[in-house]
Amino acid sequence: MTPHSFQLVEVANAAVDKKWAQTGEKGNPPFTFAYISDTHLYTKALNERFVRGALKAVEDVNALDPQPDFVLFGGDLAQLGRADEMRLGAEILKEVKAPIKIMVGEHDWFLDMGETWQELFGPPSYSFDWKGVHVVTLMSVYEKDFWTARHMSPDERMHTVAGLDNGIQSRFEVGDAGREWLKNDLSKVSTDTPILIFSHSPLYKYYRPWNFWTEDADQVQEILKPYKTVTVIHGHTHQMLSNRIGNISFHGMLSTAWPWPYAPEGLPKLTIEMDRADPFDQFDACGNGRFNVAEGGLVDAVYNLWDRNPVTITYRYLASNGSEGRPPDPKSLSY
């Protein structure tokens, strides 16, 4: 057990290697940002377990030296979208020393359709430029109305969305308006500018029955196609998850609350699976992590798995389609 193994990580050589570094634009200073994701907080009175996970992640990112430029929060701050859950989350995130960039998840949204979340944190989609990289936080967990016809109360709607395997809810989507917004936002940047997209759901199709999926992912990828270097960083799947489609690299984030098993089919072939979780250890297969952004917006993902060795998924590994820089395979696969 090395609870602070995070600090011991040899910073994934940000500049990967010359060959790959040269593929991107030169002159952008490398930077690092950390993440905390999927805390799924209930109120403290009901459930301290998930609070412990969130606090542990805050402790981790605050211990980083040097400090990251910012900390991304990956969505699903609350478990059932309640105002008291989100306020608790906001309070915990206030303790993070670096600036926070926050993203919404479906658990934050479907009780009051985002009202409280937006009051606390602002619009769910926004963009900013950071050291030569254009960063977009994209709301990707809208769902088509499945509740009105079923006469569901907001609470029932929230509980339905909160379950992974119920088959009643709709699939996640960015939606027509969201895609228009994205197109418009990206129209202001050149196609040479490295793009970093934060979305809660993976912006590709992994496993439909569990909503490890974005219904209009193909259309979103089409919008991102003209850009030379694109990295999508998503929450929701609670596991080590890597993918590469065309010019786009994808990285899934770990949860601080619980790990999810790999879906029975659809796993992207570049994914290095994390070891099967030990249920006897609350923190096993959970964690947080960070991203090192090299020149040209080439991103390496560092998974800070609590109580295990960290794993780095390099840009080189994904861009070479797995032929270079493959991290060690897990010892015990899920089944």
Partner 1 sequence: MKIKRGLLAISVGTLLGGAIYLPLRLQAASEPPSHFVPPPGAGGVVVGLCDGETSIEVPWLKPGQRMTNEQARAVSNSLMSKWRERHPNAEWQMAQAGPNQAMAPAQAAPVQGGVYERLTPREQKIADIETAKFIEEGKEIFHDPGKLGGTIGVSCDMCHPDAANTHPETYPKYQTQLQRVALLRDMINWCIENPVKGKPLSPDDPRLRALEAYIISQRNGAALAYGKH
Interaction of residue 46 with partner 1, rule CB under 8 A: yes
Nearer to partner 1, 226 or 264 (CB): 264
Interaction of residue 153 with partner 1, rule CB under 8 A: no
CA 324 to chain CA mean position, Å: 24
Nearer to partner 1, 76 or 173 (CB): 76
Interaction of residue 335 with partner 1, rule CB under 8 A: yes
Measured distance CA(139)–CA(189) in Å, rounded: 20
Interaction of residue 219 with partner 1, rule CB under 8 A: no
186-190: long-range contacts, CB 8 A cutoff, minimum separation 24: 186/134, 186/136, 186/223, 186/224, 186/227, 189/134
Interaction of residue 49 with partner 1, rule CB under 8 A: yes
Interaction of residue 150 with partner 1, rule CB under 8 A: no
Interaction of residue 276 with partner 1, rule CB under 8 A: yes
Pairing of strands 31-36, 70-73: parallel
CA 331 to chain CA mean position, Å: 25
Minimum distance from residue 280 beta carbon to partner 1 (Å)? 4
Nearer to partner 1, 154 or 246 (CB): 154
Interaction of residue 55 with partner 1, rule CB under 8 A: no
Among 163, 168, 180, 222, binds partner 1 (CB under 8 A): 163
Strands (DSSP E) contained in the chain are 31-36, 70-73, 100-102, 126-130, 133-138, 195-199, 205-207, 212-213, 230-234, 242-245, 248-252, 287-293, 299-305, 311-313
Interaction of residue 283 with partner 1, rule CB under 8 A: no
How many angstroms separate the Cα of 19 from the Cα of each of 15, 69, 91, 294, 295? 10, 26, 44, 13, 12
Neighbours of 191 (CB within 10 A): 11
Minimum distance from residue 48 beta carbon to partner 1 (Å)? 8
| Total chain residues near partner 1 (CB under 8 A) | 28
Interaction of residue 44 with partner 1, rule CB under 8 A: no
Minimum distance from residue 210 beta carbon to partner 1 (Å)? 6
SS3 60: helix
- Which of 75, 148, 143, 139 has its CA nearest to residue 110? 143
Nearer to partner 1, 153 or 166 (CB): 166
Interaction of residue 332 with partner 1, rule CB under 8 A: yes
Q: Which amino acid is at 2?
A: T
Tell me which residues touch partner 1 (CB under 8 A): 42, 46-49, 79-80, 163-166, 209-210, 258-261, 263-264, 276-280, 282, 332, 334-335
